[in-house]
Homo-oligomer: A and B are copies of this chain.
């Protein structure tokens, strides 16, 4: 089954094999196995080893392979490894790591480990790391690397290729090279362009001068969107004076895209976003991430309860009224959640902005008329069949239709309003919408019921 390839089964086979070889001290075979396995897979396998095995197998990796595997590892495994390394080993790894990976790692490590790392990098690199660490954690500045290839506009294509060949091994990407003048970015050339051109042509004649740049302060989410929109392999990052300060490559953007989606999805379920995977987050941390919103929502929903108490006489007279409360609350909640989810996603993908609010209201109103009618009719018929009371059927059907209209209105408007107020629209997802819609629907229901039954 293809499926298995994508989950952990094939990984476990490798893991068992490695543990066996390790126990039998067959280091040569282990080395061969690692050499044949992609670095991302080696890193995934290493995650499963214990603290004793890990440094042992890590030392079996080739010099450059070691740095690549290291970059793919989770931050806590990296910390374990760094603690087990000699100073010389640490220097070696740091030398081979790309700067953006080093910075990523440093941002997540305990202070004493960071101090040791900084002590063992050469002064030039240390300066660069410190520069990168100054940028806010979710900014383009902290995502970028300074290891790019820059060329001059008066070079020929041939000279540029020679320079790329020289710098290739130390650069994260060589496929886009940047033309600078007094540190300012004035153009860019892709290797594809260079290959299509003749050796004698001048860079300034073939370079692209309409450059789309990112700024160091751009939010990482917007950075990811830019990659998605333009389909580039890398973006140059410039400072306020338009000087080229680094580049961001597509692999980092893809990771951010996935993280941001996870953040949105969990936030929409009223969870404070977690940094770690589900299993790596402790029970205590899980509880902490979930309790705040639960408390807020629980206390808000007591408002609905209070409204109910004021209609005590109504349901004392017609007790059957109570039995429709769950159906009304659930349907209202679901309708609101559908609308708010679509709007929140639309905002995240830049398809919906605040000034579209009336278009949204119009659309949601149309949808709620259609959906509300169908639900009301189906439910009305069911009630009439079950209880033979046309009055009851009409009251519930009307309340339901009103609830749907209200829910879709609130679900459409709240996320846009939140965005306008500078809040994350994802906070306006189902849980909050449900609580708001509940109160409204119960009010509508009992207003209609008391009027109809003369209670």
Interface residues of A (CB under 8 A from B): 2, 6-8, 36-38, 40, 161, 164-165, 168-169, 174-175, 191-192, 195-196, 210, 212, 215, 217-218, 222, 225, 227-231, 233, 250-251, 253-255, 257-258, 261-262, 264-266, 268-271, 277-279, 283-284, 286-287, 290-291, 293-295, 297-299, 301-302, 304-306, 308-309, 312, 315-316, 319-320, 322-327, 329-331, 333-335, 337-338, 340-343, 345-346, 349-353, 356, 359-360, 363, 366-367, 370-371, 374-375, 378-379, 382, 430-431, 434-435, 438, 442
Contact = CB atoms under 8 A, between A and B. Distances in A.
B382 A302 contact: yes
Contact of A255 (B228, B265, B283): B228
B2 A217 contact: yes
27 contacts: A2-B215, A2-B218, A6-B222, A7-B350, A164-B195, A165-B195, A168-B196, A174-B192, A175-B175, A228-B254, A231-B254, A233-B233, A254-B254, A265-B265, A266-B345, A278-B346, A278-B363, A287-B366, A294-B335, A295-B375, A297-B330, A297-B331, A301-B326, A302-B326, A308-B323, A315-B319, A325-B325
A278 B339 CA distance: 10
Contact of A306 (B309, B323, B351): B323
Nearest to A359: B279
B374 A295 contact: yes
B305 A323 contact: yes
A444 to B, nearest CB: 14
Nearest to A353: B7
Given A265-B268, A297-B330, A6 B350 contact: yes
Given A174-B195, A210-B38, A341-B271, A262 B349 contact: yes
Main secondary structure on A side of the interface with B: helix
Nearest to A366: B283
B327 A298 contact: yes
A342 B271 CA distance: 9
Given A265-B268, A290-B367, 18 more contacts: A7-B353, A40-B230, A40-B231, A168-B192, A168-B195, A175-B191, A191-B191, A231-B251, A250-B254, A271-B342, A283-B367, A287-B366, A291-B375, A299-B378, A299-B382, A304-B327, A326-B329, A430-B430
Nearest to A438: B326
A371 B262 CA distance: 22
Nearest to A344: B265
A411 to B, nearest CB: 10
A216 to B, nearest CB: 11
> Top 10 nearest A-B pairs by Cβ distance?
A269-B341, A231-B251, A283-B366, A305-B323, A304-B326, A287-B370, A301-B330, A261-B261, A278-B346, A308-B323
A210 B210 CA distance: 39
Contacts of A324: 305
Given A250-B254, A306-B323, A338 B175 contact: no
Given A195-B168, A370-B283, A305 B326 contact: yes
Given A210-B38, A305-B327, A334 B297 contact: yes
A240 B191 CA distance: 34
Nearest to A383: B302
A286 B363 contact: yes
Given A7-B353, A279-B352, A323-B308, A341 B2 contact: no
A329 B327 contact: no
Contact of A375 (B195, B210, B266, B298): B298
Contacts of A294: 331, 334-335, 338, 371, 375
